[in-house]
Amino acid sequence: MQSFLPIAVFLGPSLKIDEARKILEADYYPPVSKGDIYRILASGVETIILIDGVFHRERPVWQREICDAINAGIKVYGASGVGALRAAELQAFGMKGCGQIFEWYRDGIIDGDDEIWLTYGDESNNFCPLSEPLVNIRYSLLNAVKNCCLTREQAAELIRFAKQLYYPDRSYQHLLKSPVLQQLSPLALADMETYLMTQKVDLKKLDAIQVLTWQAEVSQKQDIVSSKFNKLELPVPELLSKIVEMIGFIRSDNICTGRELLLAVKQDVNLLKKMQINLSKQCFIREWAQQNSIFYPEENLESDIADWEKVHGIVCDLKWLQSNGLTLCSYRELMRDRLAIDWIANQGPKYFGFKWNLDRSVQEELQITDSNFHSISEAELTVLRYKLSQRYFILEWAKQNSVSPGETLKSYLAKKEQESIFANSLNLDVYRLLLKDIAFEEWIVKQGPSYFGIPWSFPSDLCRELQITGKAADLLNNK
């Protein structure tokens, strides 16, 4: 399994990597872009430092993925470039900022993304800067005022001039061509040129060094990040599907993505069909629980997880988590939601105050399917009880939400009656009522949650089920 350090740094033109390594031992990645954080979440990383990121060539890092990393128990810090910008935007959600540029964004002194933009070379050229970011120009001009080389008015005019330039054209040479400096005497202009060329400050570099130095110091002692921060609302299904595609699954030689996992599972049509039905049922039961304020007992979590891992043959170590795209925090969170569904179905309707005779329901189901009670095993009975309980809650959800069999269901029901073999031991009315419930549930599940206005992402739920059962790693290993 590929080895990762607990600290990940996204770095580009702000500071050369060989200089950064002398300050902080970490895994260094190129400037961050959309999906890069999701890709490394399962690597075991404990701290992420965002310094540089892309803007125009690729899509910039998502605020959502930063928050998801924080919610997964990972500390996220930002400085210098896109890190400073995102830290100012997300400080209420738990991201921490460091350095002058972050403070400028935080305090509203600057607000434009273009303040930190610059052009730079590729990785083979160490991301060498090819233009000057506005924050560097701004800081150098403020220093010139302090050193009495410029007036405040001249500095403000020069900053306005630089801001109007297209960001790849920003440089101190262009600044010398500004109207305010061109009005100076030749001697004063020469002095100004000397000052800018010799006293200019690379603020982005200073902030990058500051955050790395600070992290190197706090790494030597316990760094507790308060969990008292806001959380983003759950993303809409469209975003959930995109997030799934970016999740990273750690393999021995590379990192696969959720997109590859979804492509792999699509090769197994039978598995995909089965999962569609099962996950649709789970969603309706989850909706019923939320609408009725039903909560899974937290004290059951540890023992239920242990039982789950025994049934699925899971050894929940770091290697297993990484290969299934999970952190320990995300695994437990997903398990809490999944186990709640099983807990509700296993408790059964009677536990929640409904008048329901389980034994009679089992007998009727066996009769309608022309099965012999004495010929099925205890394991098969357990599965049947679970299935009947699920059906009851799904139909109860339908009742509470005024979903009733309409014209669409009538033809579906007629078809089911034709396909079924009538059980002589059942009253005809009872038989038709049972068959109606079976058909109604099948129709609801087949339509799917989205049909009824429930926000649902099948790819997201599919990926989560594959992850917590360990099938994600198996599918990716066999692809």
Across 20-37, average pLDDT: 96
Question: Residue 369: inside a domain, yes or no?
Answer: yes
pLDDT value for 226? 45
Indicate the number of domains in the chain. 3
Phi first, then psi, for residue 78 (nearest 5°) are -140, 145
Cα–Cα dist 297/283, whole Å: 19
Question: Residue 253: inside a domain, yes or no?
Answer: no
pLDDT value for 294? 95
pLDDT value for 415? 64
Question: Residue 243: inside a domain, yes or no?
Answer: no
Per-residue pLDDT tens digits for 211-235: 999 999 886 555 444 445 677 676 7
Q: How many other CB atoms are found less than 10 A from the CB of residue 238?
A: 10
- Answer whether residue 356 shows pLDDT above 80: yes
Rounded to the nearest 5 degrees, what angle is found at the Cα of 472, between the Cα atoms of 469 and 476?
A: 150
- Answer whether residue 32 shows pLDDT above 70: yes
One domain, residues 148 and 198: yes
Query: Bridge-partner residues for 79, per DSSP?
Result: 98
Last residue of a domain, one of 159, 176, 203: 203
Count of positions (residues) in the chain: 479
3-state SS assignment for residue 10: strand
One domain, residues 341 and 291: yes
- Answer whether residue 161 shows pLDDT above 60: yes
One domain, residues 386 and 461: yes
Per the prediction, the chain carries an average pLDDT of: 90
One domain, residues 58 and 178: no
One domain, residues 290 and 220: no
Q: Flag the least confident range among 170-179, 225-234, 356-365.
A: 225-234
One domain, residues 103 and 41: yes
One domain, residues 86 and 171: no
Range of the domain at 178: 134-203
One domain, residues 192 and 223: no
One domain, residues 23 and 94: yes
One domain, residues 180 and 209: no
Per-residue pLDDT tens digits for 301-313: 999 999 999 999 9
Q: Can you spell out the DSSP letters for 217-257?
A: HHTTS--PPP-----PPPPPHHHHHHHHHH-EEE-SS-EEE
pLDDT value for 428? 60
Across 190-218, average pLDDT: 94
One domain, residues 455 and 435: yes
Question: Residue 248: inside a domain, yes or no?
Answer: no
